[in-house]
Structure 1
Amino acid sequence: MTHKSSFTPLATALACALLAGCNLAPQYQAPPLPVPETVAPPLAPDSSPTQAVPLAEAGPMQWQDFVQEPRLRQLVGLALEHNRDLRLALLAIDKARAQYGVARADRLPTVNASGAGSRARTADDLTTPGRPNTSGQYSATLGFSSYEIDFFGRVQNLNDAALQEFLRVAENRRSVQLSLVAEVMGAWLLLDADARRLRLARDTLATREQALALTRRSHELGATSALALAQAQSSADTARVDAAAFASQVARDRNALALLAGAQVPDALLPASMGATQAPATTATTATALLAVPADLPSSALLQRPDLRAAEHALRGSYANIGAARAAFFPAITLTASVGTASNALSGLFDGGNGTWTFAPQLRLPIFDAGRNQANLRVAEVTRDQSLAQYEKTIQTAFREVADALAERATLSERLAAQASLVQATRRTLELSDARFRLGADNYLSVLDAQRSLYAAQQAEIALQLAEQVNRVTLYKVLGGQWAGG
């Protein structure tokens, strides 16, 4: 046996491996969108004076461009670095990547080199006279064992399923990051609003305590009734309760923000409303950009959302699993082959004529399995149907989220303008009621009613301002963090 011919079995096995390539998986076709072609247009044009970012021209918007407030931008960066949920998502990607590497390695034979040597002595009584009773054996081989020739695509489909799982986990990481960015922005905006509510409550408390002191003095002089004094005391106590409640809410907001950030939030990154020098309580901070979303936004644009892409990868992986389940009905061919050399003396291990080789193909044909393969195929098909239903539900959920955000946005400008007008009107009413009370033309009850109306209107204005900013964040999130025209 020559050195050249000793490698023939190994070459034959590799040639057989190259012949494999039949794939029994059903061909994937993207299902039609179970929603209208375009997202419902807003009920009315948005007349907000904020500069709109032309996404259709500028392309996808990153969160750094969406966040306008420098402190909030730094806080989001801090959260992306330290948040534990995002860290878990990154570790899940590393795990899925490793699992895909294992599945991909199964498509190629594992070649091993081995060397062995032994020395043995036989008892004199068991040895033919004149022959040595000490012998040795040495060998060196190169080959592979139990390598499956993938004629019917079982290994390939398992590899494809692992790839789709890796891609799905990667999209989940994008989804977690997008949700984290939105949650941090929402928590920061809520803290800003609650801090302004707290300051409004404290300012109102200070004003009402001054009014209470004047009323008490007037009552002592006999110019004011005990009823007016009790009403003033009730008004001041109500403001005191609100101030304490909002102080507690601000503390909880800070704790929630610290959890999202994954670390204690420095005071320098908190909203300006938390500082010593403050603007009026009803002045809102424009922390985010205004998205320029066309009225005829195509539903297909939602397919760029990471949760939709993850659902599609899960659907693709289920198709590959069907192919692997179908391949179990067909014969499986495995090969074990090796080439090498052997000798009874280490010095003659590589001498001519000492070459060895083995070639051991094995055929496994399923004949009776009590319906196991059929059941596994049914499981794979039902899993595919479940993935399809989940994919369609995710699309419908995304469509509704975008439509709801646009419907909310359509009336926010009008509501904000109306609320600002209401605040001005109630403030004027309070001024007139107080003047009439001081002139004796009206009782103190009208002043209390005007105070309550103004306070409620101002609190509602802060809530609407928060809703407008949160709506921007929601729209950014439900659009998948971007919208590209085309």
Structure 2
Amino acid sequence: MSNINLVKNTLSFFTLPFVLSACVNLQSPEPAEHANIPLSFYSSTNGQSIAQQSYKTFISDQRLLQVIQLALDNNRDLRTAVLNIQKAQQQYQITQNDQLPNIGVSASVIREIDSFKNPNNPYSTYQVGVGFTDYELDLWGRLKSLKDSALNQYLATQNNRDAVQISLIAQVSNAWLNYALASAQLKLAEQTVQTQLQSYEMIKKRFKAGVDNELPLHQSEILLETSRNDVANFKTQILQAENLLNLLVGQQVPKNLLSDQSIASISNETVFTTGLPSDLLNNRPDLKAAQYQLRAAGANIGVAKARLFPNITLTATTGFASTQLKELFNAQSFSWSIGPSLDLPIWDWGTRKAGVKISEIEQQTALAQYEKTIQTAFREVNDALATKMFISDRISAQERLVKSTYRSFQLSQNRFKSGLDSYLAVLDSERSTYAAKQNLLVLQQAKLNNQIELYKSLGGGLEH
């Protein structure tokens, strides 16, 4: 055999499996979802969705942006999500490689005796070859379906990582705002304690002088101790907010990046546009991840169906074999072997068919989860919009309430000093003023939290 013929035979031998492995696609088509979602958001504003903005553009406070960057660098949940992407990428690579034969080189020396030819004269056989073992001919698309499933799982994992980042930015922002709110509430409570302590001392003197009875003294003491309890409570809330922030960030947050007073604004935006409902499907990575999971389930049906058909694998080698080492690489020593293996399901008590049904049920489950994810996303946006619709009205009403209660407090003091009313009216109006101011801080905080929630629910939080 000439060297040219040797090369031709070798190339023909190795291309044969690829010619035989023309695939049949048994995957199930992606079913249409019926999420029954509204055609539009209520109380939405026309224009490009704020989710199209990078969080670095949407958030205006530079201290918060630095805290968010620390979280993106150190948060353990986000780090786990990145590792999951790397794992899914390697799993996809494995399924892709399974479509190709694993080619290896082998060499052996065998010392043996042929009892029929010459039982008293052992001889050696030298062999060198290249080949592959158990290469599956993907006639029914099983390996291709496995690859498609792994690819969609990988893409779903990538979007899950983006969803984790969006959630992390919102959590860090809210925790940072909660720290500022607790600090502002603490200052107000401490100021109130000082004012009420002065009132208590004054009433105590009046009681000892016999001007007032014992009731105003105890009423004043109740108000004072309530405010002292609030001081301790807000100090606890500050520490807890800091602990949560440190957990989310993954390290100790520097004090200079925290705010010890209420935050007036968190974004430069004045109009919070939502875009079209269809934009939500493109902007929210959790919706994309659910869709990729649905596609992966469809590919798994193809895997299960392929198991109903015969499975053919090849084992083949080509190389040289000789009983003389010096003649091992001569053309006359060339040898090859090929051996197909057939796995034909005949009777398995319905196990393979049950596998198909299970994969079809899993696809329906993935479809239901996808539809639920879409419905949940629209609900989150509409909930945020519902809060946004009336939060300004609530704040305006609360501001008027603060002015009214403070004016009532001033009038009560004047009437008390004029001898027209007892000090109980002063204590009651003072308590109302303090509660109104605390509630105003809470509502102002809720407005900022709502802006973060709307940005998050629309899919904002990535760099564009």
Q: What TM-score, normalized by structure 1, do the two folds share? A: 0.89
Contact 1:202 1:243 (8 Å CA) reproduced: yes
Q: Could you tell me which residue of structure 2 aligns to residue 176 of structure 1?
A: 164
Q: Could you tell me which residue of structure 2 aligns to residue 144 of structure 1?
A: 132
Q: Closer, same or farther in 2 for the Cα pair 1:57/1:443, shift >3 Å? A: closer
Contact 1:38 1:296 (8 Å CA) reproduced: no
Q: Could you tell me which residue of structure 1 aligns to residue 383 of structure 2?
A: 404
Contact 2:49 2:458 (8 Å CA) reproduced: no
**Deviation at residue 352 of structure 1 after TM alignment:** 2.2
For residues 94-243 of structure 1, what are the structure 2 equivalents within 5 Å? 94-119=86-111, 127=119, 133-243=121-231
Show structure 1 runs of 5+ residues with no match: 46-53, 274-282
Comparing 214-223 and 450-459, the one that deviates more: 214-223
Identity, in percent, stands at 39
What do residues 53-91 of structure 1 show as CA deviations (whole Å, max 9, x unaligned)?
x97288821122222111111111111111111111111
Q: Could you tell me which residue of structure 1 aligns to residue 317 of structure 2?
A: 338
Q: Does 1:8 align with 2:9?
A: yes
For residues 302-317 of structure 1, what are the structure 2 equivalents within 5 Å? 302-317=281-296
Q: Could you tell me which residue of structure 2 aligns to residue 461 of structure 1?
A: 440
SS in 2 for 1:223: coil
How large is the RMSD of aligned CA atoms in angstroms?
2.5
For residues 239-388 of structure 1, what are the structure 2 equivalents within 5 Å? 239-273=227-261, 284-290=263-269, 292-294=271-273, 297-388=276-367
Show structure 2 runs of 5+ residues with no match: none
Q: Does 1:91 align with 2:93?
A: no
- Aligned partner (choices 432, 447, 469) of residue 411 of structure 2: 432
**Deviation at residue 435 of structure 1 after TM alignment:** 1.1
Contact 1:40 1:296 (8 Å CA) reproduced: no
Contact 1:113 1:142 (8 Å CA) reproduced: yes
**Deviation at residue 29 of structure 1 after TM alignment:** 5.1
Q: Could you tell me which residue of structure 2 aligns to residue 37 of structure 1?
A: 39
> Which amino acid is the alignment partner of residue 374 of structure 2?
I
Contact 1:2 1:353 (8 Å CA) reproduced: no
Provide the C-alpha distance between the structure 2 equivalents of 1:165 and 1:339, rounded to a whole number of angstroms.
38
> Which amino acid is the alignment partner of residue 99 of structure 2?
R
Contact 1:192 1:271 (8 Å CA) reproduced: yes
- Aligned partner (choices 440, 451, 459) of residue 472 of structure 1: 451
Q: Could you tell me which residue of structure 2 aligns to residue 17 of structure 1?
A: 18
Provide the C-alpha distance between the structure 1 equivalents of 2:296 and 2:87, rounded to a whole number of angstroms.
17
Q: Does 1:391 align with 2:370?
A: yes
Provide the C-alpha distance between the structure 2 equivalents of 1:63 and 1:11, rounded to a whole number of angstroms.
58
Q: Does 1:69 align with 2:61?
A: yes
**Deviation at residue 32 of structure 1 after TM alignment:** 4.7
**Deviation at residue 219 of structure 1 after TM alignment:** 3.1
**Deviation at residue 433 of structure 1 after TM alignment:** 0.8
Q: Closer, same or farther in 2 for the Cα pair 1:30/1:12, shift >3 Å? A: farther
SS in 2 for 1:272: coil
> Which amino acid is the alignment partner of residue 403 of structure 1?
N
Contact 1:137 1:342 (8 Å CA) reproduced: yes
Provide the C-alpha distance between the structure 1 equivalents of 2:269 and 2:428, rounded to a whole number of angstroms.
37
Provide the C-alpha distance between the structure 1 equivalents of 2:283 and 2:49, rounded to a whole number of angstroms.
17
> Which amino acid is the alignment partner of residue 25 of structure 1?
Q
Provide the C-alpha distance between the structure 1 equivalents of 2:400 and 2:31, rounded to a whole number of angstroms.
55
SS in 2 for 1:366: coil
**Deviation at residue 292 of structure 1 after TM alignment:** 4.0
Provide the C-alpha distance between the structure 2 equivalents of 1:172 and 1:323, rounded to a whole number of angstroms.
25
Provide the C-alpha distance between the structure 1 equivalents of 2:47 and 2:248, rounded to a whole number of angstroms.
28
Contact 2:28 2:301 (8 Å CA) reproduced: yes
SS in 2 for 1:458: helix
**Deviation at residue 400 of structure 1 after TM alignment:** 0.7
**Deviation at residue 296 of structure 1 after TM alignment:** 6.8
**Deviation at residue 28 of structure 1 after TM alignment:** 2.6
**Deviation at residue 39 of structure 1 after TM alignment:** 1.9
Contact 1:83 1:261 (8 Å CA) reproduced: yes
**Deviation at residue 126 of structure 1 after TM alignment:** 6.3
> Which amino acid is the alignment partner of residue 95 of structure 2?
A
What do residues 139-184 of structure 1 show as CA deviations (whole Å, max 9, x unaligned)?
1111111111111111000111011111111111111111111111
Provide the C-alpha distance between the structure 2 equivalents of 1:9 and 1:429, rounded to a whole number of angstroms.
101
**Deviation at residue 467 of structure 1 after TM alignment:** 0.7
